Amino acid sequence: MREHHQKLPAAGPEREALRQKGQFWTPAWVAEAMVAYVVGGGASTVFDPAVGVGAFLRATKSISEAIDRNLEFRGTEIDPDVLEQAKGAGLGPRALAGVQIRDFVRDPPCTALAAIAGNPPYIRHHRLSRELKRELRGLAVNLIGAPLDGRAGLHVYFLLRALRLLAADGRLAFVMPADTCEGVFAPVLWQWITREYRLEVVVTFVPEASPFPGVDTNPVILMIRRAKPQDSFLWVRCDKGDSWELRDWLLRGCQEPPGPSVSVQRRAISEGLATGLSRAPSEVGETGAVLGDFASVMRGIATGANDFFLLRRSEAEALQIPDEFLVPAIGRTRDVPGDRADTATIAALEKAGRPTLLFCPDGRPLERFPPSVRAYLQEGERLGLPQRALISTRRPWYKMERRAVPPILFAYLGRRNARFIRNLAGVVPSTGFLCVYPRQEDPEFLRQLWEVLSQPQTVANLALVGKSYGSGAIKVEPRALERLPLPPCALDEVGLSAPPKSKQMQLIDGD
């Protein structure tokens, strides 16, 4: 049986369980391509750190027949129930004899491995416990000599552990989400990898060819060898799914043209790291103007409990919260369907029963608040809010972050609808938005900047700096948005030139 398709639940507890475990199975046309690469150096045993239902075991059998060479399979899997599914899918005890129930990251094999192929569990950082994050941070220091940013998911640590286990001239092929190349932790990670290993191939997929349709991630395949680093790598784009051209090209040692559904180009490591390994080569010059020349960017307010701190006007009136503790606010990107937030937007939200006010207590002792505010904060304590992860870091727990009203908002979590929004309503946003603060307060400067940001080419350039997810969705961090290239023609059209950066607006954050 060549294919083993995973039927994905659309929503509900079953879908949430998949996200919690990061279990999304690899299709045969991808798994066989990866095995073809890792055994290309002559290895006789393929190791999979997260066996799951056995996609790479099947791929190993198929490639063994294709190259007429006996290949063994070994691996680890932490979830016994998943191995039972593998048996139910036709893999008997003999086929799985080389698989151990074992935590690959925390309890790795003791021997070096010549060929590692796998799809590690995609478990994002916010699904990891604080204790596990602390342990993983120490693991990174031990493995590469430096900690990674806390936003690195568990899949990144699978990659670190596997690379450290590679034998001399050994090969690794991992399916990874694009955030491995684009996240805030990526520079430290890739400086180490490209210094210690040879990055040989990066395989990407157009959205229509994604091996994981319906999954909110943008996958890439990283093919890395434990050999002397080189200054270039092969960047591959698959334009069609369920195509065996990638596998066949790798079986031929990447020496011949792969076929019409797969394109290949050689790129410099330095350019790939600067642009993003999951992104096509950038045609934007390094000396061009970027948003950070004209504005600073800050994330929206993280309340830790939007259902408590974001209030409808009717709620605030019923609770008798004084106006001094309320700030006009916007809670989610779909609350602003267009590119402007104005009084009509707020009126429509209030009519629809959406929250438009941020409850914004300061840091005074509880007993010094007016009785109505004190009563509401006591209700928050009864609900257990002080024990929530983010809120527990605040002193006192109810002291809300502060933001100056941003003239421009950036909605970065919408699916295929990332956009800049002119904030005419004077609201502060939640974390679904970024706050864009022009470096000059002159109204004409703001008008010119807004015109540039409204240009389709400016929005298209977001793909050069954002983290990409499934179906074309992107997420852009504040510092990355400041690196957004602005089209020279748009700047020339409005007569905008970069202001001195010393004129940056003073922001309020927490005090």
Domain boundaries, the chain: 24-275, 291-360+400-503, 363-399
User: What's the CA gap between 89 and 2, in Å, rounded?
Assistant: 11
The CATH number given to 24-275 is: 3.40.50.150
How distant is the alpha carbon of residue 400 from its chain centre? 27
CATH architecture assigned to 291-360+400-503: Alpha-Beta Complex (3.90)
User: What's the CA gap between 463 and 458, in Å, rounded?
Assistant: 10
Confidence at residue 19, expressed as pLDDT on a 0 to 100 scale: 40
Confidence at residue 9, expressed as pLDDT on a 0 to 100 scale: 35
Confidence at residue 141, expressed as pLDDT on a 0 to 100 scale: 94
Pairing of strands 45-48, 72-77: parallel
Contact indicator for 341, 421 with CB cutoff of 8 Å: yes
**Model confidence at 498, in pLDDT bands (50, 70, 90)?**
low
How distant is the alpha carbon of residue 173 from its chain centre? 20
Q: What is the overall mean pLDDT for the chain?
A: 88
Q: Which tens digits make up the pLDDT trace of 423-444?
A: 999 999 999 899 999 999 999 9
User: What's the CA gap between 502 and 458, in Å, rounded?
Assistant: 24
**Model confidence at 107, in pLDDT bands (50, 70, 90)?**
very high
Taking alpha carbons only, the member of 15, 490, 467 closest to residue 215 is 15
Contact indicator for 36, 63 with CB cutoff of 8 Å: yes
Lowest-confidence region among 122-136, 179-193, 485-499: 122-136
- pLDDT mean over 480-491: 92
Confidence at residue 472, expressed as pLDDT on a 0 to 100 scale: 60
Taking alpha carbons only, the member of 298, 295, 323, 296 closest to residue 429 is 298
